[in-house]
């Protein structure tokens, strides 16, 4: 098992080119299944979740090849429309292949995704919407068998919550369905817009992606194209947090500053100086960090749940008291125990965490419990005095493309062992 060994307390300084977005690459890889011919997906991060998505595509007869950061998918479905249980278990996001398989093949069998480290992960909104589009769903021993006896058709779908995954699944099913689909209260995350843009390049008719109402006019066929995956805004947030906790100064290149306003606003409240250009961001964190009175995770454009743990790590060293409320996932404070081991003063009551800033964090032996919680401990380790040994880093490899190389290039002392 691999671990990171970090010597903390080094100020980070320099330039980082931000990787492509995992949460965009995964649905776009699923979308490639809908297309005839070849899709060339550039700026794909090298991550275990991306490899798992490629294995799913291969398991249903597609050719999927990774050359550097480009993934080439030739979707030639073998007619097999079942996602192996082992791959479902490996990556919860594999549920995103449901809409794509129904769109291309009209049928799909897959394991029920079940819970994960963040708490229960229901898919009721996905299934309810697909039913409205003509999908019949039978569940037996945790296996979902989905068919479309009278074909897939467009529908009006109102989401009770703007679920990212449900919006993506409906979009994937709708582009090749007969007739029009209107999704109201759709998720507005930038990754939805990226998915829609890729589909539009392939010939799909979609309006309103990125807003709460998305209109899709089903077409007969999609054709693969060359597309560049958007930059990862949560990875950008992580590097900003690493600069903040080390009192550093970083320039982040190839990023999408507009999608980071919620995070930049919080960093500015913390006394960091941030400047943005269209595709780059600078942070200067020379001044003492200040607490943030109240921070609440919300669907986009609110403060992202995926950045909550990472920003909490920085707030541990910010003067004053910060209150963080997690509204999206039930179990997203699992990093708190490890931060406390590193000297943080945090109290959790239900979905609220109260962070009293301390002067110094100290290195410790800690374990990642989930992807972003792991990134929070990495951030804390860089800002702590002494050595941090971070284990269970396979969680981090799900979302960060060689983070130790990136961090070393800006002055961090971190080794993978």
Catalytic amino acids?
116
Instruction: Yes or no: say if 62 and 88 are a contact pair by the CB < 8 Å rule.
Output: no
Contact flag: residue 23 with ligand UD1 (CB under 6 A): yes
Asked whether position 94 contacts ligand UD1 by CB under 6 A, the answer is no
Q: β-strands 222-223, 35-36: how paired? A: parallel
The residue with tokens 């479309």 is 148
Which of residues 15, 65, 76, 124 is near ligand UD1 by CB under 6 A?
124
How many Cα atoms sit within 13 Å of 362 on the Cβ side?
Answer: 3
- Point out which span in 66-74, 122-130, 252-260, 360-368 binds ligand UD1 (CB under 6 A): 122-130
CB of 358 to ligand UD1, least distance (A): 28
Contact call for residue 259 and ligand UD1 (CB under 6 A)? no
The 10 Å Cβ neighbour count of residue 412 is 23
Contact present, 117 and 369 (Cβ < 8 Å): yes
Instruction: Tell me, by CB under 6 A, how many residues bind ligand UD1.
Output: 20
Segment near ligand UD1 (CB under 6 A), from 12-20, 99-107, 120-128, 140-148?
120-128
396, 232, 376: which is closest to 308 by C-alpha? 376
Using CA atoms, how far residue 261 sits from 84, 158, 237, 292, 336, in Å, is 39, 27, 10, 16, 25
Tell me if 123 contacts ligand UD1 by CB under 6 A: yes
Q: Which is nearer to ligand UD1, 65 or 124 (CB)?
A: 124
Smallest separation, CB 273 to ligand UD1 (Å): 28
Phi, psi of 94 (to 5 degrees): -60, -15
Which structure tokens are listed for 42?
Answer: 């550039």
Which residue, 23 or 148, is less far from ligand UD1 as judged by CB? Answer: 23
Is residue 131 involved in binding ligand UD1 (CB under 6 A)? no
Beta strands in 55-154 (DSSP E): 63-67, 70-74, 107-111, 136-140, 143-147
**Cβ neighbourhood burial of 137 (10 Å; 0-12, 13-18, 19+):** middle
Only one of the segments 130-138, 162-170, 215-223, 362-370 lies at the binding site for ligand UD1 (rule: CB under 6 A); that segment is 162-170
For position 133 contacting ligand UD1 by CB under 6 A, the verdict is: no
Q: Does 306 bind ligand UD1 (CB under 6 A)?
A: yes
Is residue 379 within the footprint of ligand UD1 (CB under 6 A)?
no
* Rounded CA separation 175/205 (Å): 7
Contact status: 351 vs ligand UD1 (CB under 6 A): no
Using CB under 6 A as the binding rule, the residues of this chain from 311 to 340 that contact ligand UD1 are 328-329
Q: Please state the closest distance from residue 102 (CB atom) to ligand UD1, in A.
A: 16
Helices 97-105/164-174 angle, 10° precision: 10
* 176 lies in the binding site for ligand UD1 (CB under 6 A): no
Q: Which is nearer to ligand UD1, 143 or 219 (CB)?
A: 143
Residues that bind ligand UD1 (CB under 6 A): 23, 26, 93, 121-126, 161, 163-166, 187, 191, 305-306, 328-329
């Amino acid at each position: 098992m691999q671990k990171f060994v970090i010597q903390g307390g080094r100020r980070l300084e320099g330039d980082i080119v931000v990787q492509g977005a995992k949460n965009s690459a995964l649905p776009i890889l699923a979308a490639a299944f809908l297309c005839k011919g070849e899709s060339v997906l550039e700026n794909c991060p090298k991550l275990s979740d991306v490899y798992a998505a490629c294995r799913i595509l291969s398991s249903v007869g597609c050719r999927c090849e990774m050359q550097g950061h480009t993934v080439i998918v030739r979707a030639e479905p073998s007619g097999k429309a079942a996602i192996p249980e082992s791959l479902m278990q490996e990556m919860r996001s594999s549920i995103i292949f449901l809409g794509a398989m129904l769109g291309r093949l009209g049928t799909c069998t897959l394991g029920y995704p079940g819970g994960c480290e963040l708490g229960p992960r229901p898919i009721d909104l996905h299934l309810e919407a697909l039913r409205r589009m003509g999908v019949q769903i039978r569940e037996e021993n945790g296996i979902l068998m989905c068919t479309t006896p009278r074909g897939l058709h467009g529908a009006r779908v109102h989401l009770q919550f703007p679920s990212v995954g449900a919006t993506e699944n409906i979009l994937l099913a709708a582009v090749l369905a007969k007739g029009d689909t209107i999704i109201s209260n759709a998720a507005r995350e930038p990754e939805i817009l990226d998915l829609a843009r890729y589909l539009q390049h392939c010939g799909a008719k979609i309006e309103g992606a990125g807003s709460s109402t998305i209109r899709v006019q089903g077409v007969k066929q999609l054709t693969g194209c060359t597309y560049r995956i958007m930059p990862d805004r949560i990875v950008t947030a992580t590097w900003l947090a690493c600069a903040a906790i080390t009192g550093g100064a970083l320039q982040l290149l190839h990023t999408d500053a507009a999608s980071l306003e919620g995070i930049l606003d919080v960093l500015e409240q913390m006394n960091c100086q941030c400047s943005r250009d269209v595709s780059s961001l600078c942070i200067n964190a020379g001044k003492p960090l200040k607490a943030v009175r109240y921070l609440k995770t919300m669907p986009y454009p609110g403060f992202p749940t995926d950045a909550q743990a990472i920003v909490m790590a920085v707030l541990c060293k910010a003067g004053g008291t910060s209150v963080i409320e997690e509204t999206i996932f039930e179990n997203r404070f699992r990093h708190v125990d490890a931060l406390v081991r590193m000297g943080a003063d945090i109290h959790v009551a239900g979905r609220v965490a109260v962070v009293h800033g301390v002067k110094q964090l100290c290195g410790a032996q800690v374990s990642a419990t989930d992807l972003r919680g792991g990134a929070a401990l990495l951030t804390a380790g860089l800002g702590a005095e002494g050595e941090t040994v971070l284990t269970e880093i396979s969680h981090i490899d799900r979302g960060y493309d060689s983070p130790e190389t990136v961090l070393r290039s800006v002055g961090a002392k971190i080794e993978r062992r």
